[in-house]
Amino acid sequence: MPALMIAPRATDRLAFLSALALVAAAPAVTPALPVQASPAPRVTEWEVTAAPAYDALCLIGVLGGDPFYVRFFEEEYRHFDARLTPAERDAFRAVKRILKDEAAGIVSARLGLVFSAAEAGGLGAAPPRARGAIAWLLRVARVPARARAALERTPYWSEEGWATYERARPHLIRALQALGRAGFEDFWERRARPRIERRIAELAPFLRPHDVVPAVEARLGKALPSRRITVHVLAFARPHGIRIVGTRFLADVTFPSDVMVRNAIHEMMHPPYEATRPEIAQAVAALGADPVIRARVDHHDPSFGYNTVEGYVEEDVVEAMEGVVAEQLGVGRPDQAGYWREHDGGMHVLAAALYVELRRAEAAAGGPVVVPAFLVDAVRRGDLTGERLARTVEAFLGPGALAGAAPTAGR
Q: Mind listing the pLDDT tens digit for each residue in 52-62?
A: 999 999 999 99
pLDDT in tens, 330-367: 999 999 999 999 998 888 999 999 999 999 999 999 99
Same domain, 80 and 185: yes
- Number of domains the chain is built from: 2
Whether residue 62 lies inside any domain: the answer is: yes
Closest CA to 268 of 238, 232, 230, 234: 230
Same domain, 159 and 64: yes
Q: Which of 131, 164, 192 is the last residue of a domain?
A: 192
Whether residue 12 lies inside any domain: the answer is: no
Same domain, 187 and 62: yes
- CA pair distance 254, 239, nearest whole angstrom: 10
pLDDT in tens, 201-249: 999 889 999 999 999 999 999 999 999 999 999 999 999 999 999 999 9
Same domain, 179 and 300: no
Q: Which of 169, 192, 215 is the last residue of a domain?
A: 192
Same domain, 64 and 167: yes
Closest CA to 224 of 205, 206, 239, 243: 243
Same domain, 61 and 188: yes
Low-confidence ranges of the chain (pLDDT < 70): 1-41, 404-411
Q: Which of 192, 222, 257 is the last residue of a domain?
A: 192
Whether residue 174 lies inside any domain: the answer is: yes
Whether residue 130 lies inside any domain: the answer is: yes
SS3 content of the chain, % helix, strand, coil (to 5): 60, 5, 35
Whether residue 185 lies inside any domain: the answer is: yes
Query: Is-cis flag, bond preceding 372, omega within 30?
Result: no
pTM, rounded to two decimals: 0.84
Which range of residues forms the domain containing residue 385? 278-403
Identify the pLDDT of residue 304: 79
Whether residue 289 lies inside any domain: the answer is: yes
Same domain, 187 and 282: no
Same domain, 288 and 176: no
Half-sphere exposure (Cβ direction) of 103: Cα atoms closer than 13 Å: 23
Whether residue 150 lies inside any domain: the answer is: yes
